[in-house]
Chains A and B, each alone.
Chain A
């Protein structure tokens, strides 16, 4: 069982927007602005999409945005494209001594 809770799957049509949620506790998501999001295509390594809740690394499309409210963080993808179909994982710093990094269980995004 993952430390952070994500929906198993979401879907949307090209051009639409979707949001993936990530629920934690006050010891991780709710207590710090240190939430990251990763995109993983099948058979590939994860890729950083969002860090520090809302920041995008250089080269990541501005169609990807992050937010947080309380113990829940969210990743929104606007203007869905076929290439966005992938698994998405949230991650957070945790004040627990171990693990030092906690992940969500992952969300499979299907572009219809």
Chain B
């Protein structure tokens, strides 16, 4: 069965960095685009970033552009989110989520989600 397991969350001071990981299993990781989606405490879902199946195409939300970088290592079946210059409003549970297709093209949607990892940005 499809499994996505996030790790790397924790408490970090404003301005510092953190790297999240998402280990995938149960499917051919290298065939799917993967998203990061976050959820601030008590709030709704916010799309953060996406990367295509082979890593050749990626994009970020405006709220994290220039600070967060999505990447993947298909040899390790692992997705990453490098988060720099963290701010208090980045505090959220971060989910990795599988797109149904390879390339986040029209018609794609998220079909599986991990359990999430909590990032708290606080001094």
- In angstroms, Cα B105 to Cα A64, docked, is 26
- Given A101-B35, A103-B44, A103-B45, A45:B61 Cβ within 8 A: no
Contact status B62-A98, CB under 8 Å: yes
Contact status A36-B47, CB under 8 Å: no
Number of B positions contacting A (CB below 8 A)? 26
Contact with B along A76-112 (1 / 0, CB 8 A): 0000000000000101010000111111111000000
Minimum CB–CB distance for B41 against chain A, Å: 12
**B109 interfacial by beta-carbon distance below 8 Å:** yes
Show the binding face of B for A, using Cβ within 8 Å: 35, 37, 44-47, 50, 59-62, 95, 97, 100, 104, 106-116
Show the binding face of A for B, using Cβ within 8 Å: 2, 32, 34, 36, 38, 44-48, 51-52, 57, 89, 91, 93, 98-106
